Each structure stands twice: as C-alpha cells, then as structure tokens.
Amino acid sequence: MSELIHSRPARRLLAGIGLIVTAIVFGLPLMTLLLASIAGEWTRALPTTLTVAHLRAALGGTPRAALWHSLATGIGATIGALVLGVWGALVSRRAPAPVRRGIDALFLMPVAIPSVSIGLALLVAFSRPPLLLNGTVALVGITHVVLVTAYAYASAQAGIARLPAAVEDMAGSLGATPSRVLVRVTLPLLLPQLRAAAALGFALSMGELGATIMVYPPGWATAPVEIFSLTDRGALFTGAAVSVWLLAGTFGALWLFDRRRSSRRAGSARDFSGT
Amino acid sequence: MTPGPRQPSGRDRVPPQIGVHALSVRYGDHLALDRVDLSVTAGEVVVLLGASGSGKTTLLRAIAGFTVPTVGRIHLGSTDVTAAPPHARGLGLVVQNYALFPHLRVADNVAFGLHARKRPRAQIERTVARFLEMTGMAAHAQRYPHELSGGQQQRVAIARALAIEPPALLLDEPLSALDPPLRAGMLEELQRLHSQLPQTAIVYVTHDQTEAISIGHRIVLLNGGRIVADGTPRNLHDTPPNRYTAEFFGQANLLPARIVDRSLEADTDPVRIAVRIADRTIWARRSADAPASGAALLCLRPHDLQLEVPVEGTPDGNHLDGIVRSAQWLGASQRVVVEAGSSTIRVDRPASEPLPAPGTRVRVSFPAERAVVLADR
Amino acid sequence: MELARRPWRPLVVSVPFVVLGIIFLYPFALLTVEAFARPDGGYGLGTFAAILAGHAFHGALFATLRIALTATAACLGLGSALALLIRFAAFPGARALGRLVDVYLAFPSFLVALSLTFLYGNSGVVHTLWTSALGGSAAAASRSFLYGFWGVVLAEVTYYTPFVMRPVLAALDVIDRSQLEVASSLGERPWGVLRRVVIPELVPALIAGGSLCLLLTMNEFGIILVMGVKDVITLPMMIYGKAIDEFDYPAASAVAICNVALSLGLYFTYRQALERVPR
C-alpha cells in the first residue's frame, strides 16, 4: 500500500518520522525501565554505573514471593477462565439468538467494568456469610477468573464461528458420541484460539493491579502489588527490577503457550470484539 | 503547475493521442513488458487482448501512471508524461471491481474528479447531471454505491471517469465482474457512449475475444510481454500473422505444411501461395509474416470448411481427404472431426445438414481465399 | 442434538452460569445493597445522595472524563497518524512494527507509569537534562509535569494508542487499492486522496477504536496509582481511597455503582459502533 506516496525521498522521510515517533513514544519508556533495573549510580541524566544488584534483590525476599504468587495466580486463573469461558461459549452456540446476546453480555461485561469496582464488589460480597473468603488466597484467584473469563469466552466464540461447517455433524454421523465429538473434534479444532486466549489471559492476570489491590490477603501480594508498594516507598530501582522479571515471565510464558503467531491472535482478542 | 497533459477543454481540444515507445517494465527477474510500441489516435477504440500474465494490464497501468516503466517513453498528445504521477495525466480509469467510493453518493462519486480540479460549483453540477443522464443513472444520483446492482455500479464508474472529460478512457477488464447476460448489454452501452463522445480514445483491456471483437476498432494481442499481433478484428481473424494469434483469436485448424517453390505462385495475385500437405498441393493466402519458404502452418477456420463426398481421381485442388472420427450436434451448428492423414481437422457446419456417421470417408474442401499460410510461432 | 435426550443436560448447560452468578453477579448485587446501607443497619438513599451531592464526587467525575476525553483524542490523532505511516510509507519493518503493536496490548498499564517516572519524573532523564540546561538553581524549584493531569494523559496515550492503531490498521488493510488509484487518476493529489477517500473510510474504525479507548481510559487505575499523582482523583481512585484508606465501604460502593453505570453505558455504545465496522 504505497500508492499514495510516489516519490521515494518523501516515502523515506515519512518512514523516518514514523520510526522516530514510535521509538520515542513506545520504545523509550520500555528502554528506560530496563535501564533503571540495572542502574547503579543515577544522579546525572544517565546512570554512571551499572549493577545487577536490583535484579538480584528482586529475586529474594518478598519480591520473590510476589513473583511466585503472580505466577500461581496467573496459571490458576487462566485454567479456570478457559474452562468457564469455553463452556459458556459452547452453550451459547446452541442457544437461540436473543438468549445468545444475553449470554454474550453476561460473559463480556467484566471487561467493561473498572477493575477496582470488581475488586470492591468481591470484597464486599465475600466478607460476609454465607461465603466468607475475605483474607484468603482463593479470593485473589476468583477475582482473576472473573477478569480473564471474558477473553477466554470471546476467543472461544471466535473459534467456534470459524469451525469448518459440518465437521462435527460428520463425526456424529460416523457414530461418535457427543462427548467424543467434543473431545476429539471440537476442542482440537478450537486449539489455536484456546492457546491464544490462554496466552492473553495469563498475561493480563500477571499484570493485574486494580482488583488485586482491593482483595489480596496480607502477606500474599502479587508482583504488581509488590511493585506498587516498592515504588510507593521510594524503592524505584527494585520496583523496576521486579517489573523486568514480571515482563520476562509474562512474555516467556506467552512464547511458550503460543509459539506460532501468538502475539497477533492474543492482541486481536484484547479488543474483545468477539465474533 | 505540474507538467502534465493539456487538459481538454471546450472547443480547442487537442487531438488526444497515446504514444507508447519501446516501453519495457521489469519486476525483478520478470520482464512484464518487452519493448512495446503502441499509438492510439483520437476516437479510436483499441483493445489490449491477452491471457493473464501477457502484460496487457501492465501496459494499461503504465499508461495510467501506476507502473513506472524500466525503459521507454509514454506521450499523451505532444507531452511526455513518462515521469508524471497519475493525478497529472488526466486519463479516465475504470477498473474491474468499479472501485466506487463507498462513503459518497452516486452524484458525489461522479463529481470527485471535478472537485479535485476545483471547478466552479455550477459547472460541476451541470457536468455531473450530463454524464449521469448519458449513462442512464440520473434517477440514482442520491443513492449510495452499495444500493446499486453491479451493472449500475459500472455505469457510475464510467460516468465518473468520463466526467473529467479525459482525452482517453482506460478500461481494465470492465465487464469481467458482471454476469454474462449483462455483458452484451453493457458492451452496446459502451459503444453508444462512445458514439456520443467520438473524440475520446478508449483503451480496453480484456482476455475475452468476444468482447474484443465487438468493441475494438483495433486489437492488440499480447503474449509474454510482447505485442504478437496488431490489426482490425477482421484482419486478425482472416489473416492471423502467427500461430499464437490464430489459436487465441477464434478457432483454428493448424496443419503443418511446406511452402512450395515460389515459382509456382500465380503472377496475378502476389498474396497467393502454394503449400504441400501430405501429397497434395494447396493454394492459400499468405499472411504478412509468413516465411518465404520451408516449414509453415496452414490455418483453416472450422466454419470455412465444407464436407463433400470424395470422388476418386480428382486432380489437385483445395481439399483434403479423410475419415469422420466423430460428429456432434451443437444446437445452432454441428461439429465434425475428420482425421486426414496425421492431422485432425474440425469442421463446423450448419445444423440443418445431415450428421455424417463416424467412419465415413469425406473430403474437406475450402476456397483458397479462406486458407492462410502463416509462420509456425 | 443428541444431548437433549440426556437427563443431565440442564445441569451441564447451567454450570457456567451458576459459577458466573456466584463470582460475578452475586458480588455486584451485594455491592448495590451495600451502597444503600445505612450506618444504623437499615437501608436508604442516604449514603448515595450524600456521595452524589459531594464536591469530591463531582471533582472525580470531572477529572475522569477530562483525562479520558483528552487521552482518547490524543490516541486517535497519534494512532491514526502512525497507522497511516506504517501502511503508506511502507518502510522496511513496518509489518513487524504493526505486530509489535499487538504485543503492547498484553503489557500491564502501570508499568508505563513506572517507566515514565524514570524518563520524565523529578529525577528522570529528561527532567534532569532540562533543569541542568536551565541552570542548577532552577532544578530544586521545578517539579516535573508528570505528577499532574498531563502526566496521566501522557501515560495513557502511551499505553492506549495501540488500541486505536489496531482497528485502523485493519481498516486500512481492507481499503481497495484500486479506489486509491482511481482517485488519483481522477486528478486528486496524494494528500487529497488521503483526505477525501482514505480518512472517510476509516471513520467506523476510528469510532470503534476511540470508544474502546475512552472506555479503558475511564476505567484506568494502575497508571494513576503508580504514578503517585496526588491532586488528580478519578472515580476509580476515589473508590480505592474510600475503601482502603477510609474503610467506608458504603460510600465506595455508591461511587462504584455510578462508575459501573457510566462504563457499561459506554460499553454498549462501543458494541454498537463495532457492528458498523466492516470486517
């Protein structure tokens, strides 16, 4: 699509502008964060010495625990949300159109609600009988499931919409039971979308702050909460180091989950346009 | 002002003419156009005909300014536009999928080029009304493109291209997105439009020989980036210069032949030539590029052939004996396949004739002026 | 479907709804109840009315809308400009850059705030360069713009611009290139083709991307919290403050109800806008 710019110098100039703006707006902050995590003396414009002390400190004590908590929450919430979201999408597929719109609204609503409000609602609801979960790790897990399910649902639904026509009916006509069709045909066909949903859900859970900060039990901070309390106390460089580990963990997992074209699909699910 | 073609305006319109000189276009290793020359005079309808990949679309895009030639020049009138961007060329372009602007109403689509030229409002309205009227779309002026049928969209696309009153109209496979029944009507429509704008040249790209025959004053046949034939439809059909043209353009029986010593040629008619096929001497016309001697091809159009009952001992003449292999009734005509020696000859006859039985001995005969000798390439 | 004949089918069908009911609908029902709770144990409109009438709420609502609208406008401008450059300048690596935008969407937003602190904060790279250029004495007095309205807007623009670029890039991909060619053959210069053909065809994508951006910036919390902005209180910040600092759950719930209503209203507008985006 270069129809609009005929002259090569003009195209070069605009490309240069595009690259420079992108670098300043998106690249520079990330670079600075990486730099801060290894900065020793930083009294001038740029650090005068470099050190791995922050990165090492971030792998000990409470930061280390927080990273583990995030990892565990992320894995647990992703699995829970996948089960719930896929289940919901499979049910909504057979529902008549008006019912399906209702199910869509229910499952996708959490993405539209401010995360602090979700955290508050869960805190209020589970601080009283019959479900007393306040101060438990389970509440953190539930919170993350609520936040991530919408993405799993949207991805599964997009996958279902793209299922090759009549393949499942064909399997059924060959004598497979419905549960066998689900396990051997439908779910394998949905696998690319499920992997993308898992990758995105995990990444979002790892980075979740607003709802978690409302519900986390004392002593069980996740990495984002830990980063906030570190930076709030002024330990900016340790905070940056924990951030770098958090990002490394997140993108490492993204890469593992969904090696093929993960980012593209994960991104496309994030605007939760669904089908 | 960017250097560009002179805008045709009012009475003193320059004779619009497209001149393409030794134009080559290379994409990496692929030579899409190979030293092509073409000139289109005012009011002429030239069809660029060829299979896909023949270079016809590349040639049209080079004229329009979307493809930069590797070497060669392009002139519009007396102006060299080789380096001019498309917007400075002032040519009307109509493409296969119409490419109407979806967010603009029909009238605004037609007015697009006039707004780009900053014409006064009153003039724009007049011109738009005139071309919508001419294309029969006046009643749909306030519609959006998606509310129109394919044929209607094509009329709007043509009106939009004509509204800038271009010296030449470039049409890139304009009918291929239409249903076949609509195409004939659209072709007549184009001819009617052209009769109302007799000074506008048309360059029409197609792969369909029926379209080419019915609209082209001249047909330029391309193959592998080169022009292989250039002439009137009648000319290319009756005396194809080479094998590719004979096969691409109409149906042809092509029989290998040897040109007989030229001394046998009749003095009275320099285009007459004698060739030998098997043990017979056949008289035929000579196509312009036919070799002077040696191997050549005899081109026989199936509908120019007649079937006769063979008579023993008939002297030399324009006929070949053979055996009917198959005969098929095709509604308006019948197709008989005759095996004559090592060659297979297709014969199209009126359906009213009795269908010959396979195995029948027949004689295929034809007048010398309907047989053409051409180069085997 | 064969499942219909099985007695446990209703159970299978209802599981996801029961679970979501417990972990999502039930909490929001109780949140609503909490907002109407009176200190004496009864229920009434007292808390609600007091919150809605208060200056703090008005200020937070105004701040939320002002930040969200400013950031969204900037995201729309920057996002569409970058998307157009990526597609039309066609520079090497442009495609990769388009994909990198997608990766950015999985990034936690509050890290942008932290990064910008190192870049533009009081002791950050840019601020240090700036103040040393002005002379050492000014450094102590001046405070970076980052800890106010514009800092929040900058962080949100940095983070949310890809959310606009995505639909715009997708819309640019489906624009028929022959439309651009016909437009230029009709005599329109590149800038005119952009203005009269490309941009009008991007309008649905801009509406979709813009309303998503507006929704997410209105709900944004992590950026403001981590940046340590003291004088900009948005609705989510107000909820957090009431609940965590003041332990005033009824007041927090009342603000949350208003915030949720605002967000859901916007969300359904977004869904409708999305249906008009050609796919």
Chain B residues with beta carbon closer than 8 angstroms to that of C276: none
Question: What is the torsional sign of CA A202, A203, A206, A207?
Answer: negative
Ranges A22-31, B87-96, C212-221: which has the least confidence: A22-31
B371, pLDDT greater than 70: yes
Percentage of chain A with pLDDT > 70?
90
Predicted local distance difference test score (pLDDT) of residue A274: 36
Q: What is the pLDDT, as a whole number, of residue A78?
A: 93
Q: Do residue B116 and residue C188 have CB atoms under 8 angstroms apart?
A: yes
- Burial tier of A15 (Cβ tally within 10 Å: 0-12, 13-18, 19+): buried
Q: Letter for the amino acid at B101? A: F
d(C-alpha A71, C-alpha A203), whole Å: 10
Residues sharing a CB contact under 8 Å with residue C57, sequence separation 6 or more, in sequence order: C51, C238, C255, C258
Q: How confident is the model at residue C34 (pLDDT cuts 50, 70, 90)?
A: confident
Size of interface A-C (CB pairs under 8 A): 274
Residues of C in contact with A15 (CB under 8 A): 85, 89-91, 94
When CB atoms are compared, the residue of A106, A231, A254 closest to C20 is A106
Interface partners of C (3+ CB pairs, < 8 Å)?
A, B
Containing structural domain, residue A129 = 55-270
> Out of A27-36, B10-19, B167-176, C260-269, which region has the weakest mean confidence (pLDDT)?
B10-19
Q: What integer is the mean pLDDT of B93-101? A: 91
Residue B43 CB coordination number (10 Å): 16
Nearest CA in chain A to C19: A84
pLDDT tens string C170-205 = 888 888 889 999 999 999 988 899 999 999 999 888
Which of C179, C184, C197 has its CB closest to that of B87?
A: C184
**Domain B243-374 - what CATH class?**
mainly beta
Backbone angles phi, psi at A6, to 5 degrees: -85, -35
ipTM score assigned to the predicted complex: 0.85
Query: Which chain C positions have a beta carbon within 8 Å of A121's beta carbon?
Result: 27-28, 30-31, 256
Q: What are the distances in angstroms from CA C158 to CA A29, A35, A40, C110? A: 9, 19, 27, 11
C181 in contact with chain B, both atoms CB, cutoff 8 A = yes
> Taking 80 as the threshold, does the pLDDT of residue C2 lie above it?
no
Where does chain B hold its CATH 3.40.50.300 domain(s)? 18-238
pLDDT of residue B266: 53
* Subunit contact B112:C189, Cβ cutoff 8 A: no
Q: Is the pLDDT of residue B12 over 80?
A: no
pLDDT at A259 over 70: no
Q: Residue B56: pLDDT above 80?
A: yes
Segment A143-169, tens digit of pLDDT:
999 999 999 999 898 888 888 767 777
Q: What six digits make up the tokens of B333?
A: 């005509």
Above pLDDT 90, what percent of chain C?
27
pLDDT at C89 over 80: no
What pLDDT was estimated at residue B13?
45
Average pLDDT over residues B226-241: 89
* A216, part of any domain: yes
Q: Is the model more confident about B204 or about B375?
A: B204
Q: Which of C182, C188, C202, C203 to mutate to test the interface with B (most CBs of B within 10 A)?
A: C182
C275 to chain A: closest CA residue: A273
Q: Decide if B64 and C201 are in contact by the 8 Å CB cutoff.
A: no
Least confident of A58-62, A66-70, C23-27: A58-62
pLDDT number for residue A270: 53
Reply yes or no on whether the pLDDT at B202 is more than 90: yes
What's the mean per-residue pLDDT of chain B?
A: 86
**Which of A11, A113, A117 minimises the CB distance to C90?**
A11
B185 at the C interface (CB within 8 A)? no
Domain annotation covers residue A21: no
CB < 8 Å from C in window 145-184 of B = 157, 160-161, 164, 170
Is 60 exceeded by the pLDDT of residue A88? yes
Confidence of residue A6 (pLDDT cuts 50, 70, 90): low
CB contact under 8 A, C181 and B117: no
Please give the torsion angle defined by the CA atoms of residues A149, A150, A151 and A156, in that order, rounded to the nearest 10 degrees.
90
CB within 8 Å: A15 and C266: no
**Is B66's CB within 8 Å of C181's CB?**
yes
Residue of B nearest to C189 (CA): B87
Looking at the domain assignment, is residue A260 inside a domain? Answer: yes
Report the number of distinct structural domains present in chain A. Answer: 1
- B contacts of C183 (beta carbons < 8 Å): 101, 112, 116
Q: Which of A262-266, B366-370, C141-145 has the highest mean pLDDT?
A: B366-370
- A10 lies in a domain? no
Q: What is the mean pLDDT of chain C?
A: 83
Q: Which of B132-141, B200-209, C38-47 is least confident? A: C38-47
Q: Please say if the pLDDT value at position C254 is more than 50.
A: yes
CB contact under 8 A, C110 and A247: no
**Interface membership of C196 toward B (CB under 8 Å):** yes
Q: Parse chain C into domains and list their residue ranges.
A: 55-275
Residues contacting residue A165 through CB under 8 Å, at least 6 positions apart: none
Least confident of A15-29, C33-47, C58-72, C111-125: C33-47
Shortest Cα distance, chain A CAs vs residue C171, angstroms: 13
Rounded Cα distance, A107 and A101, in Å: 10
- Say if residues A3 and C76 touch (Cβ distance below 8 Å): no
CB contact under 8 A, C184 and A3: yes
Per-residue pLDDT band for C12 (boundaries 50, 70, 90) equals confident
**Is residue C195 less than 8 Å (CB to CB) from chain B?**
no
Q: Is B103 on the interface with C (CB under 8 A)?
A: yes
Contact A10, C91 (CB under 8 A): no
Which of C176, C187, C200 faces B90 most closely, judged by CB atoms? C187
Rounded-to-integer distance, Cα C217 and Cα C224, Å? 11
Of 3.30.1360.70, 3.90.1490.10, 3.10.450.50, 1.10.3720.10, which CATH number belongs to C55-275? Answer: 1.10.3720.10
| Predicted local distance difference test score (pLDDT) of residue C232 | 85
- Give which of C130, C131, C150, C147 is closest to C139, Cα–Cα: C131
Give the minimum alpha-carbon distance from B115 to chain C in angstroms, rounded to a whole number: 9
pLDDT at A85 over 90: yes
Q: Does domain B18-238 match CATH 3.40.50.300? A: yes
Model pLDDT, residue C35: 83
Confidence class for position A263, pLDDT limits 50, 70, 90: very low
Interatomic CA distance for residues B256 and B275, integer angstroms: 10
- Chain C residues whose beta carbon lies within 8 Å of the beta carbon of residue A25: 78, 157-158, 161
Report the range of poorest mean pLDDT among A232-236, B258-262, B367-371, C253-257. Answer: B258-262
Q: Burial level of C5, CB count in 10 A (0-12/13-18/19+)?
A: exposed
CB-nearest to C166 from A178, A232, A267 is A267
DSSP-derived secondary structure letter, C186: T
At B66 the three-state DSSP class reads coil
C75 confidence band (pLDDT: 50, 70, 90)? very high
Average pLDDT on B77-97 reads 89
Contact check, Cβ <8 Å, B99/C182? yes
Across the range C143-162, mean pLDDT stands at 86
Enumerate the H helices of chain C as residue ranges: 9-20, 26-35, 46-53, 55-88, 94-104, 109-120, 125-134, 136-141, 149-174, 177-185, 190-193, 199-219, 222-227, 235-240, 249-275
pLDDT at C267 over 50: yes
CA distance B116 to chain C (A): 5
B65: nearest CA partner in chain C: C185
Residues 6+ apart with CB under 8 A from B245: B221, B228, B229, B236
Query: What is the structure's pLDDT at B141?
Result: 92
**What percentage of chain C reaches a pLDDT higher than 70?**
89
What residues of chain A, 149 to 178, have a C-beta less than 8 Å from chain C?
Answer: 149, 172, 177-178
pLDDT digits (tens, 9 = 90+) for B329-342: 888 889 999 998 88
A223 touches chain C (CB under 8 A): no
Which residues of chain A lie closer than 8 angstroms to C274, CB-CB?
273
User: Quick check: B161 and C203 CB within 8 A?
Assistant: no
- Does residue A168 lie in a domain region? yes
What integer pLDDT is reported at residue A134 of this predicted model? 79
In this complex, do A124 and C31 lie within 8 Å of one another by their Cβ atoms? yes
- Subunit contact C201:B103, Cβ cutoff 8 A: yes
Chain C residues with CB under 8 Å of B170 CB are 185
The answer, for A213 touching chain C at a CB cutoff of 8 Å, is yes
Residue A264 has pLDDT above 50, yes or no: no
Which member of A1, A146, A246 has the closest CB to residue C172?
A1
Judged by CB atoms closer than 8 Å, whether chains meet at A271 and C259 is answered as: no
How many angstroms separate the CA of residue B153 from the nearest CA in chain C? 13
CATH 2.40.50.100 residue spans of chain B:
243-374
Inter-chain CB proximity B99 and C179 less than 8 Å: yes
Q: Which pLDDT band holds residue A41 (cuts at 50, 70, 90)? A: confident
Q: Touching check for C191 and chain B: CB below 8 Å? A: no
Chains touching A, CB cut-off 8 Å, 3+ pairs: C
What pLDDT, in 10s, does the model give residues A182-237? 888 888 888 888 888 888 889 899 989 989 999 999 888 999 999 999 988 888 88
Pick from B28-37, C64-73, C116-125: least confident: C116-125
Q: Say what percent of chain B tops pLDDT 90.
A: 44
